[in-house]
Amino acid sequence: MRRAPVLVLAALAALAAAPAATAATSATDTVLTTATVGSLDITGGVLPTASVNTVIGSTTEVVGGAMTVSDTRGTTGGWDVTARYVNPVGSVTLAGVVTPVVSVGDDNVKVKTAETLSTVLTGTRSYTAGSFVQVDDQTSVNVAGASAASGGGTTTFSTAYQVTVPTNATLGTVYGAAVEYTVAPKVP
Amino acid sequence: MPPSRLQRAPAASTLPHVRLLPAVLAALIALPVPVAAAQQAPAGPDVRGVSVLPTADSPYRSSSGQYLELGTVPAGAVVGDQVVVVNAGDVQRELLLFAVDASPAAGGGYGYSSRRSPQAQVGAWTTLSLDRVTLPPRGRASLSFELRVPAGAQAGSYVGGIVAEPVSGQEAAVSVTTRYAMPVVLEVAGAPPGTTPGRGTPGGRLQLDDVELQTDGDQLCPIIRYRNDSQDPVDPVAEVHVDRLVGSDERSARLPAGVVGAGEARDAELPCVRRPLGPATVSVELRSPRGDARQELRTSWLPWPFVLALLFLVLLVAALLLLLLRGLRRRREQRAVPDADGPGHS
């Protein structure tokens, strides 16, 4: 009888601790002034998770936490939140052993889009979950957005993505994936 | 419906994996707790993140005040200014700062490339005075940028971004990064309106470049390469149609082939269909708002069991004919014997 490969799907975030690969001077600039301007920003996201999956070709849904976009600009011009697949980097430590992480590949990752903006201009609004859409490392997918007329206040929506164990996965290999969510003002 | 390649994986309940599960679970428990857990969005509207803004007196500040419009920049020119990074939250944050390229996202808006992706346009042309900053709660910092358009840059419209990305601080497995991108928009003079170099053409359409038919037993699995020559991402619907000489025709379910960005190409595996016996025509069709594309391929498949069976059938028919001829000849000979004996012999 053939043994089924055991796979560990460790969802990894972008390599935040690594130094940026730009030519700029690395510096720490601690500033004491207080931000008073209105701004557009994003926080939250899919909860950190690691899951076990033992079956090649099966799909794990990584259910996310709330993601919040705060738009206190007043004269909002609208905004978009886009998601993009990113290859995982580095390794994870499993039972004291540093284990390299192999990318599941962008063919095996889908993100859930948000849809149906529900309430009003200010206060907390929510999106109901949308459909899963394939993401890759070249083209982003819009998961939430607001027009100039509707983007003010705080918008909260749920996030999730699906990871499918590659059909060519091998026994004992640690697979990972990462998704970047970016909020940006709308460009006409 | 014929199974696709991904659907061919065995069902979970059929695999003997249970005995290995505890070891893996134990290994996972050893994973360090990711720092992002502390940054997840609690309920309530007071959780705030980070943003990047033009300075109030910037000549490049857009009418909304939210991004940079550099206007028309000649190839070879250098543009520079200051921008402000804001921590709108109540906790200190360490941020990575960098410039990236941008391209239209599927579903609207612009998508901003990853820090670790190679940059080719605005991301490659822009340098920042800081690549990392620590901001206290409600803190802000100024940094300068310099955008140098290469002398040989192709004319057209460009969009990129200056990104602020919170540092997680640990190597633990976390699942997501959230970040802020301030768009940077500029035009390099000399191109038709709407032209975005490297990202398709204004009148471009969807193209089906190549279709390869891979066989897997009695399944025929098309692998396609398609290209989006338009300037918007498209998510085409694919359909495979088999026109058979032997047996009935077959049409696969219409499935998304996968989003392909403006000016980009992509490979996709389409759902397998039953491999046609004998000569047949397989057509692959892609449909999208940016045009349809279609290719036809002729196939001919005669598997050896089929050929062997055909050979046996021919031999069987030949043997039957032989037997029939022999029988007829014997009967004719039997009829001829009484005639040869004749009445004189009786």
- Reply yes or no on whether the pLDDT at B80 is more than 90: yes
Q: A35 at the B interface (CB within 8 A)?
A: yes
Q: For the whole model, what pTM was predicted?
A: 0.69
Record: contact A58-B116, CB cut-off 8 A: no
Distance CA A70, CA A38 (A): 10
The predicted structure's pLDDT at residue A4: 37
Mean pLDDT of chain B: 79
For an interface test with B, give the residue of A107, A110, A115, A138 to mutate (most B CBs within 10 A): A138
pLDDT of residue B141: 93
Contact A137/B258, CB-based, under 8 Å? no
ipTM exceeds 0.95: no
Residues of B in contact with A48 (CB under 8 A): 33-34, 36-37, 40, 172-175
pLDDT interval class at A169 (50, 70, 90): confident
Contact at CB, A21 and B115, closer than 8 angstroms: yes
> How much is the pLDDT for B121?
94
Nearest to B112 among A33, A154, A182 (CB): A182
Contacts of B22 in chain A (CB under 8 A): none
Chain A residues with CB inside 8 Å of B182's CB? Answer: 184-185
Which pLDDT tens digit goes with each residue over B253-294?
A: 777 667 788 888 888 888 888 888 888 999 999 998 888 999
Does the CA dihedral B34-B36-B38-B44 come out positive or negative? negative
Per DSSP, the three-state class of A70 is strand
Closest CA in chain B for residue A57: B9
Name the range with the highest mean pLDDT among A3-17, A83-97, B286-300: B286-300
For residue A50, pLDDT beyond 60: no
What residues of chain A lie within 8 A of the CB of B11, using their CB?
55
**Alpha helix ranges (H) inside B13-146:** 21-29, 36-39, 122-125
Q: Are the C-beta atoms of B142 and B83 separated by less than 8 Å?
A: yes
DSSP state string for B240-303: EEEEESSS--EEPPPEE---B-TT-EEEEEPPPEEPPSEEEEEEEEEE-TT--EEEEEEEEE--
Using CA atoms, how far apart are residues B257 and B272, in angstroms rounded to an integer? 13
Chain B hits for A16, CB-CB cut-off 8 Å, are 96, 165-169, 177
- The answer to whether the CB atoms of A140 and B177 lie below 8 A apart is no
Contact B136 A182 (CB under 8 A): no
Q: What is the mean pLDDT of residues B293-302?
A: 88
User: What is the average pLDDT across B95-119?
Assistant: 91
